[in-house]
Amino acid sequence: MLSATGIQKNYGQLWVLKGVDINIAQGEIASIVGPSGSGKSTLLHILGTLDKPDKGQVSINGQAINFLNDRQVAAFRNKHIGFVFQFHHLLPEFSALENVCIPGWIAGRKKKEVADRAIHLLQTLGLGDRTNNKPNELSGGEQQRVAVARALINSPKIVFADEPTGNLDSANARELHQLFFDLRKQFNQTFLIVTHNEELAQMSDRILHMKDGNII
């Protein structure tokens, strides 16, 4: 599902990624762990096409990203890639349902089809009765589940999560882990997760240790 080779990234004099190779299979749940500043977020952004490497190639679902122009990358990302961040970045003026629908509208899909899938996802995530609430009317765990539903609205090939439980208490964190595994079971969903959560890392199929810009 994901294949990247020789990924390098510099910020001025700072050599942040030193030639990372990584392969993730369809339906795999892999965790990246490592000290703060080791390059985890930078790597995730590059793999998720939010940022470009200085050297190296990223392929997702057989599509080599470096062959696409910026507009094509943006369209590919919206259609095939889902993101969950530590801070969910939900839009406060929109309802839970609307927040989930937005990437579907951007993809130009039919409104009815998008709404049906959004409702199905919110129900699956235990938020069937919260669809019309605004983010500030939801708990932290509920908001994070809305963000997960939003990440899944276009049935992405792969979901990248950067410390998704960083902002949750341990009960909510455990629920989110369970959710990832349920989604894998239901949709064969692929996940690459940066986490400090030992429990989540231990549950995953594979743990990738990052240190000083390399996967060791």
The nearest distance, CB 193 to Mg ion, in angstroms, is 12
Binding-site ranges for Mg ion (CB under 5 A): 40-41
Are the beta carbons of 17 and 42 closer than 8 angstroms?
yes
Place of tokens 């080599």: 64
What is the C-alpha to C-alpha distance for residues 171 and 162, in angstroms, rounded to an integer?
19
The nearest distance, CB 89 to ligand ADP, in angstroms, is 17
Closest-approach residue to Mg ion (CB): 41
Nearer to ligand ADP by C-beta: 25 or 50?
50
Residue 16 binds what, of Mg ion, ligand ADP, none (CB under 5 to 8 Å, by partner type)? ligand ADP
Residue 135 amino acid letter = P
The nearest distance, CB 45 to ligand ADP, in angstroms, is 8
The nearest distance, CB 31 to ligand ADP, in angstroms, is 13
Closest CA to 100 of 135, 49, 139, 136: 135
Nearer to Mg ion by C-beta: 50 or 64?
50
Nearer to Mg ion by C-beta: 160 or 180?
160
The nearest distance, CB 162 to ligand ADP, in angstroms, is 7
Nearer to Mg ion by C-beta: 4 or 125?
4
What is the C-alpha to C-alpha distance for residues 41 and 182, in angstroms, rounded to an integer?
25
Q: What does each C-alpha distance from 40 to 10, 44, 199, 207 come to in angstroms?
A: 14, 6, 18, 13
Nearer to ligand ADP by C-beta: 41 or 131?
41
Where would I find the H helices in the chain? 40-47, 70-80, 96-106, 111-124, 140-152, 170-187, 198-203
Residue 38 binds what, of Mg ion, ligand ADP, none (CB under 5 to 8 Å, by partner type)? ligand ADP
Q: End-to-end distance of the chain based on CA atoms, in angstroms? A: 21
Binding-site ranges for ligand ADP (CB under 6 A): 11, 14, 16, 34, 36-42
* Structure tokens given for 171: 């009960």
